[in-house]
Chain A
Amino acid sequence: MRTPFKQMLATGNVFIWGCAAGVSLSLLMVFGLLLLIMINGLGYFWISDIVDLTLKDGQHVMGQLAGREVIPRTITPDRPEGKSRVRVKIGNRDLSGLDFKWVNDDQIVSQAYPADVVLLERREWGNMYARIQAVYSGEKLLAEGNEAGWTALGPLISSADDLHRQIKQIEQFEIGAINADIERLRLKIRAIEMEHPASPVSSEMKAQVADTETRYREKTAELETLRARFDEYSVVMVDANGREKQIAVGQIVRALRPNEMGVWQKSWIYLVNVWAALSTEPREANTEGGIFPAIFGTVLMVIIMSLAVVPFGVLAALYLREYARQGAMVRLVRIAVNNLAGVPSIVFGVFGLGFFIYAIGGTLDTLFYPERLPTPTFGTGGILWASLTLALLTVPVVIVSTEEGLAAVPREFREGSLALGATKLETMLKVVIPSALPGILTGLILAMARAAGEVAPLMLTGVVKLAPALPLDGSWPFFHFDRKFMHLGFHIYDVGFQSPNVEAAKPMVYITTLVLITVVILLNLTAIVLRNHLRKKYAGSVL
Chain B
Amino acid sequence: MNSDSDHVLDLSPSGGAYDDTPPQLPLKRSTSALRRRAFDRLAQIIVTLGGAAVILSIIGMFVFLVKEVVPLFLSPHGTQSGHFAGDLDRGEPSQSSLVGLDEYQEIIYLLSGGAERQIRFFNAQSGAPIAVELPAGLADAYIVSIARAAGSGHRFAFATKDGRLIPVTIEFTSGFDQGERRITPTITIGSPMQATPATERILRLAYQPTDQGPLTAALTDQGRLWYTAGALGSSPVALTNHGNESVTSFIFDSRGETLSVGTVGGKLYRYELREGVQPSLSETIPVAPAGTAVTALSYLIGDRSLVIGSGAGEVSVWMPVREAQESSVTRFRLIHRLDTHPASVTGISPSLRNKGFITGDAQGNLFVHYATSSQTVLKLSGDGQAIRALAFSPKADGAVILSDQGELRTYAIRNPHPETTVATLLAPVWYEGYDRPEHVWQSSSGADDFEAKFGLMPLIFGTLKGTFYAMLVAVPLALLGAIYTAMFMAPHLRAKIKPTIEIMAALPTVILGFLAGLWIAPMLERIFPAMVAMMIAVPAGVIVTSVLWQYFPATVTRRLRPGMEAFILIPVIIGVVWACLALNQPVESLLFGGSYKTWFATHWGLRYDQRNALVVGFAMGFAIVPIIYSISEEALTNVPRHLIAGSLALGATRWQTLVKLVLVSASPGIFSALMIGFGRAIGETMIVLMATGNTPIMEWSVFNGFRTLSANIAVEIPEAPHGGTLYRTLFLAALVLFAFTFLINTVAEMIRQRLRTKYSQY
Q: Which residues of A contact B (CB under 8 A)?
A: 1-3, 5, 8, 10-30, 33, 36-37, 70, 72-74, 77, 81, 311-313, 315-316, 318-320, 322-324, 331, 333, 335-340, 342-347, 349-351, 353-355, 358-359, 392, 395, 399, 412-413, 416-417, 419-426, 428, 430-431, 434-435, 437-438, 449-450, 452-456, 459-460, 489-490, 492-493, 496-497, 502, 506, 509, 513, 516-517, 520-521, 524-525, 528, 533, 537
Contacts and interface: CB of A to CB of B under 8 A. Distances in A.
A319 B50 contact: yes
Contact of B654 (A5, A12, A331, A358): A12
Contacts of A416: 11-13
A26 B625 CA distance: 8
Contact of A343 (B1, B49, B519, B742): B742
A10 B651 CA distance: 13
Contacts of A437: 1, 4
Given A77-B595, A455-B510, A455-B686, A419 B13 contact: yes
A351 B568 CA distance: 49
A399 B517 CA distance: 35
B213 interface: no
B168 to A, nearest CB: 37
B546 A8 contact: yes
Contacts of A392: 57, 61
Given A8-B546, A26-B625, A425 B40 contact: yes
B744 to A, nearest CB: 8
Contact of A12 (B511, B513, B545, B656): B656
Given A2-B550, A73-B595, A347-B734, A318 B5 contact: no
B571 to A, nearest CB: 9
Q: With a 10 A CB-CB cut-off, give which of B48, B500, B518 has the most chain A CB atoms.
A: B518
B216 to A, nearest CB: 45
B65 interface: yes
A509 B513 CA distance: 12
Given A339-B742, A420-B13, A453-B507, 18 more contacts: A13-B655, A14-B547, A16-B654, A19-B488, A23-B480, A27-B566, A74-B595, A318-B47, A323-B47, A344-B710, A345-B685, A346-B714, A413-B11, A455-B685, A456-B685, A490-B510, A493-B689, A537-B5
B57 A319 contact: no
Main secondary structure on A side of the interface with B:
helix
Nearest to B658: A12
A33 B503 CA distance: 12
B640 interface: no
Contacts of B128: none
Contacts of B39: 423, 425
A395 B54 CA distance: 8
B contact residues, range: 35 or more
A329 to B, nearest CB: 10
Contacts of B485: 23
A343 B685 contact: no
B629 interface: yes
Given A18-B480, A73-B594, A27 B539 contact: no
Nearest to A419: B13
A315 B11 contact: no
B481 A19 contact: yes
9 contacts: A26-B625, A33-B507, A319-B50, A339-B741, A346-B737, A392-B61, A424-B43, A425-B43, A431-B8
Output the residue of B51, B61, B64, B658 with the most chain A CB within 10 A.
B51
* Chain B CB within 10 Å, residue with most, of A30, A343, A459: A343
B718 A24 contact: no
B682 A344 contact: yes
A420 B501 contact: no
B565 A496 contact: no
Given A73-B585, A337-B58, A493 B690 contact: yes
Interface string B687-727: 00110000000000000000000100110011000100000
B479 A22 contact: yes
Contacts of B23: 420-421
A284 B273 CA distance: 55
Contact of B685 (A29, A37, A344): A344
A337 B690 contact: no
A17 B542 contact: yes
Given A344-B737, A354-B731, A16 B8 contact: no
A8 B544 CA distance: 12
A343 B741 contact: yes
Contact of A513 (B50, B511, B658, B744): B511
A238 B511 CA distance: 40
Interface centre among A412, A426, A438 (most CB of B within 10 A): A426
B594 A16 contact: no
Nearest to A521: B503
